[in-house]
Amino acid sequence: MKSVTERFLRYVSIDTQSMEDQDCYPSTAKQLVLADLLVQELQELGASNVRQDEYGYVMAEIPATTDKEMPVLGFLAHMDTAPACSGTDVRPQIIRNYDGGTILLHPDQRIGMSPKEFPELTDYKGQDLIVTDGTTLLGADDKAGIAEIMTFIEYLLQHPQLPHGTICVAFTPDEEVGRGTDFFDVKSFGAEVAYTVDGGTLGELEYETFNAAGAKVTIHGVSIHPGSAKWKMKNALLIGMELHQMLPVFENPACTEGYEGFYHLDDMCGGVEQARLKYIIRDHDREKFRQKKELMKEAVGYLNRKYGDGTIELDMQDSYYNMQEKIEPYFYLITVAEDAMKELGITPIITPIRGGTDGARLSYEGLPCPNLCTGGHNFHGRFEYISIQSMERIVELLVKITEKFYLL
């Protein structure tokens, strides 16, 4: 039986970074390299109904080992890594028996990771950590989830004496660019309820997400030679700065936590003649979410009145909604996972997700889908790391959840 670490190291060697604003699906063809590998592995393991559709979704089933009626359970993870940091030529390093001090990731570039900057590192003293070389992300989000699910599948197929119902698994592309379920066929997947394995610290269990929207702002300026620009020039960059200053200064990711929402200026580019700003807008509370979007519209409207109609174009679209209201009628999913953790000596950490998962959209498409931990930290950046022991415990957790479903 392959270890979860072996699988993880193999998967992170494949660059699967997704890209924003692409007309194709998946957004990058290189995600299909991992998809093809997973299909091959699932077939070699002996999974049933292994398939990959035209959009790159990989699905399979583990047949029931009992005639007892129970909900068909699913597990999902995503194949892509975030555009925020390079996923090319990932060079993972294993730090055995971590001593609790600074980890030197890249001696030549003097890149280190210190507990002073990342205090949670001290929780892993004595464990084995997989880290980057300080120049790329690692890819634990969400290749750790894939490795954990695949190792779990192998365990189930090698232990047919374990009673369980039908288990469905799926691996999705483009989650990091908000398109992970655009073409996901819930009916074809076959599960009635599911979990995404896409969280962080061991013990995390999440069923609340942000309500989320994306806002694309295009500003049309007027470029005039600065020597003769008085009362003629409209500097698109300055208008963009003025727009941003109209948003609440403390409602940005660097100043928020827990249930606090934010406006996040994710990208700004351009010049005097034209500028583009991209925002993500988030709040757990639906009414506060509506108010945030309304404020953005009001700010744009004010500046169009000030500088002339059509100066600013706003394209704002909802991305997903807080899945809490869709999970609560199936709250046994949370109880089962929480009880499974306690039986394994894992402390449950039930927190709201300050982000989103494929499960948020799937929950609104009829597949209730809370989120389980993967064991990783510092996702989307070069200081990403994960504990090998955490990954191993999460494989045990998936098995325990499956066992407890049989007892429902």
Q: Enumerate the active-site residues.
A: 80, 175
Q: Which two tokens stand for residue 373?
A: 């931990």
Alpha-carbon distance values, 315 to 18, 19, 294, 357, 383 (Å): 22, 19, 13, 23, 33
Q: No. of H helices and E strands in the chain? A: 10, 18
Closest CA to 326 of 366, 380, 273: 366
CA atoms of 49 and 297, how far apart (whole Å): 48
Which residues make beta-bridge pairs with 193?
73
Helix spans in 125-164 (H): 140-158
CA atoms of 309 and 325, how far apart (whole Å): 40
The label of the residue with tokens 């005039």 reads 224
The label of the residue with tokens 């200053």 reads 245
CA atoms of 167 and 191, how far apart (whole Å): 8
The label of the residue with tokens 């022991």 reads 389
The DSSP secondary-structure symbol of 343 reads: H
